[in-house]
Chains A and B, each alone.
Chain A
């Protein structure tokens, strides 16, 4: 008998929560809970893993919750096409278990089979090497419909120990370099070539995505980061017959002139800059580098400026949801945290900036790693609240949708946002 079935119970916590939110799809509640609690792969589930067919872990800019670098499924797909982006988690932390039922991979909760899952399919280019001999998947990684470029695996906020309190980018950089030979900084020409190779696979990719750690240097702060992104996007753009192509970049909050440069000189079509937490005091505490170089209010102002450059519904900010409740400095109740977060999100939404969240995954090598993330109810209420703001302010979120990202329960709900163009 499998590990999962040994612990079987009849009613899951998921069912209890799902009953409270009949307007939220059970599949999205499940995704959120799996991201919240993580997964543990039983041996039988790992035996189903075939590196020629499935993506495996190891290419990411952030680490796993169990701190290991090992061959495991990169992530999971649910029956509705929803991605679950989650990390392997030690059994002691009560994760969902991926095990085998009738020959197929299933998610189990406390021994009860909950849903069948597919491992992310491996793209064809994953088997190839780049011109410098590096496996292409270490230059450009993939999601089910997205190409990921993580060009710079360092963040200069860490130079004076002011990196974000939930972030393990530097620890992961070292692991990637030592264990997988992943270059810390990518050559734009090589990136463009790998993208070209990836695009030979028809019907696979819908968007190009870039993100890196912040680079504070330059004539103006962050000019070097902007210039590097421009060089990368220009090389990527050589693969397309149109100047603009579906794309998203998560960068630092740039000045308007820098944003214009990015938009005018490249094919970039959307822009994301993460505030991480929507409260100035917590932002200052948990993101000291962002505070030092830009500040909370200025970050918000630059996001609004970006709407002038990229367009309404093409700019958003991301939250690491749950850190606002962590530890002694967090909000004392989920109601207070929700009220504050949605109030700030509304202030941004009325100015054309959308807010999305990822479920915070406490990582062992981070200052906040010892705390737990929020309740499932909290994340569902947050997802509903952000989705409702998009409806209220008629804010599309196509560029950060289930296809183009897949990491946000709130934008999963927005798969059925009203189609405002039908009113024209």
Chain B
């Protein structure tokens, strides 16, 4: 996937204040969302999620996703209220090799005695701009029947 939205994903991830969460579903379809503090975009345009624990629910759900083609989504919330939601499919889990080792060292350099179970690569399929001001403007333009009327009332005392 290329384009302006993907560039904005990269931009948001490069900003220090951005909060990233990853949402997965389990075998019963129950969703779970957790922070993904090491999230980044790789050179091929894939999201890179680092999973520290082999037995975490997210790790097991991601495995279920690559096994049974279940979708995942990632939400980025920027400092300036910018919100992007990326839905995608799990492409690959790296468990060994030079690239894995680089991420392993990175995790340990930041967290101390931590481990790394897998480096998950997620292929973005669709990116939604869920920034409130953007969505508000879209809704007011395309769905003008969803206003509370009091928002349109003329306030006489302000005239």
Shortest Cβ distance from residue A374 to the other chain B in the assembled complex, whole angstroms: 23
Q: Is A121 an interface residue (CB 8 A)?
A: yes
A79 contacts B95, C-beta separation under 8 Å? no
B65-109 residues with Cβ-Cβ distance < 8 A to A are: 66-68, 91-98, 100-101, 103-105, 108
> Please, how many angstroms separate the alpha-carbon atoms of A202 and B107 in the complex?
12
Determine if A415 is an interface residue (Cβ-Cβ < 8 Å): yes
Query: How many angstroms from the CA of A58 to the CA of B93 in the assembled complex?
Result: 27
| Partner of A415 from B63, B98, B101 at Cβ < 8 Å | B63
1/0 per position for B25-46, CB-CB distance to A under 8 A? Answer: 0010000000000000000000
Could you tell me if A25 and B104 are in contact, using CB atoms closer than 8 angstroms? no
Residues of A close to B67: CB separation below 8 A: 25-28, 80
Are A81 and B98 CB-contacts (below 8 A) given A25-B67, A415-B63?
no
User: Would you give the shortest CB distance from B59 to chain A, in whole angstroms?
Assistant: 9
Report Cα–Cα, A81/B63, bound state, in Å.
9
B8 to chain A, nearest CB (A): 28
A25 to B98, CA, bound (A): 27
List of A residues within 8 angstroms of B55 by Cβ: 419
Contact among A26, A118, A144, A202 with B105 in the assembled complex (CB-CB below 8 Å): A202
Interface range on chain B (Cβ under 8 Å from partner): 20 to 34
CB distance from A203 to the nearest CB of B (A): 3
Number of interface residues of A (CB under 8 A): 21
Cross-interface CB contact of B64 among A81, A416, A419, cutoff 8 Å: A416
Given A27-B67, A403-B54, are A79 and B101 also a contact pair (CB < 8 Å)? no
On whether the beta carbons of A80 and B63 are closer than 8 Å, the reply is yes
A144 to B96, CA, bound (A): 6
Interface contact B66-A145, CB-CB below 8 Å: no
Chain B positions within 8 Å of A, measured between CB atoms, are 27, 54-55, 60, 63-64, 66-68, 91-98, 100-101, 103-105, 108, 116, 118
User: What are 29 A-B pairs with beta-carbon distances under 8 A?
Assistant: A26-B67, A27-B66, A27-B67, A28-B67, A77-B95, A79-B66, A79-B91, A79-B92, A80-B66, A80-B67, A80-B92, A81-B93, A81-B94, A81-B95, A81-B118, A120-B96, A145-B95, A201-B101, A202-B104, A202-B105, A202-B108, A203-B100, A203-B101, A203-B116, A204-B96, A403-B54, A416-B60, A416-B63, A419-B55
